[in-house]
Amino acid sequence: MRIGEAGRATGTKSETIRYYEREGLLPPPPRTSSNYRDYGPEEISRLRFIRRSRKLGFSMAQVKELMALADDPDQPCETVDKIASAQLREVEAKLTDLRALRKELTKLVESCKHGTIAECRVIEVLAGNREELVSQRH
Amino acid sequence: MRIGEAGRATGTKSETIRYYEREGLLPPPPRTSSNYRDYGPEEISRLRFIRRSRKLGFSMAQVKELMALADDPDQPCETVDKIASAQLREVEAKLTDLRALRKELTKLVESCKHGTIAECRVIEVLAGNREELVSQRH
DNA sequence: CTGCACCTTGTAGTAACTACAAGGTCAAGC
DNA sequence: GCTTGACCTTGTAGTTACTACAAGGTGCAG
């Protein structure tokens, strides 16, 4: 599988795939006789994972951490737990915020269906005070 | 409330707040007699909303769209529905991915607690084929 | 009245892409 | 067999969303 096809399969531009390789997120794939990158299903999985994680708001460094967990299951339990727990806390926080946002957007779409114009509280719903607790840590 | 305090209240650097103002995400606040920006609770809410949304992986343009929904409830229903529905689809997709990721991370942390080293399937869990359907649209 | 923390504008650097230039590769059609 | 066009290569420069720093003004505590 060449870079263009890999890109179409994962919704990624060729340039971005090469960029991930340069930055160490993707291992350099084998090359064909004419020096084209040649991707297998394993690399496609990894690429798909990177794209999804980035869309969820994780940094490239965090994506690397997650992939390291998957790649090397023989790391000391302490390390795995530390990384996984931290990522888990972030995932939970994102889930909470997204559920609140979903509720508000659903209400908006519903009221539109009935021809009425609802007042929209998207801002208030995410402007709660959890963030203040987070920023205390700095 | 001056810019520094507003920043501490929302986990945002002063520079970033000024940047949001330049880019039109935040309205220019009133100034004090000594030309300092003076923020009220309304602006703080808005700022908090921007920060949360960005962490959830929404672009500044999407954040603007969402805020426009909240600011102007008298827009034609068609417009509101189009924007809200699109954002809702994205929120749902993010929720699905995050739930899968959470499950995998929880498993990892649990097995660590019992001293065993689990095999980690974080990559596989997000490498499913939903993305292929999305990329068909282009 | 002088530190010191804060504010102002402006410019330059970073992360994560994204686009484009200049040129090599290769299967399809005449 | 040769050209056309879609693909690939490396490299550089532009974009988005910050982030850091410089040079200087503001304001309150001691």
Tens digits of residue pLDDT in B10-55 = 999 999 999 999 999 999 999 888 888 999 999 999 999 999 999 9
Cα(B45)–Cα(B27) distance, rounded to whole angstroms? Answer: 12
CB–CB of B135 and A51 under 8 A? no
pLDDT at A27: 93
Mean pLDDT on A36-63: 93
- Could you tell me if A66 and B122 are in contact, meaning their C-beta atoms sit under 8 angstroms apart? yes
Tell which of B131, B132, B137 to mutate to test the A interface (max A CBs under 10 Å): B131
**Domains in chain A, please, with CATH?**
3-58 (1.10.1660.10), 93-136 (no CATH)
3-class SS of residue B37: strand
| Type of residue at B8 | R
CB nearest B48 (choices: A44, A113, A131): A131
Mean pLDDT on A61-87: 84
**Which of A48-57, A83-92, A126-135, B90-99 is least confident?**
A126-135
pLDDT at A116: 66
Residue (of A32, A35, A37, A43) closest to A10 by Cα position: A43
Contacts of B115 in chain A (CB under 8 A): 77
Structural element, H or E, at residue B95: helix B77-113
- Bases of strand C lying below 7 A from some protein CB: 6-11, 15-20, 25-26
Angle between helices A41-55 and A60-71 (to 10 degrees): 140
Residue B137 predicted with pLDDT over 50: no
Question: Which one is predicted more confidently, B126 or B137?
Answer: B126
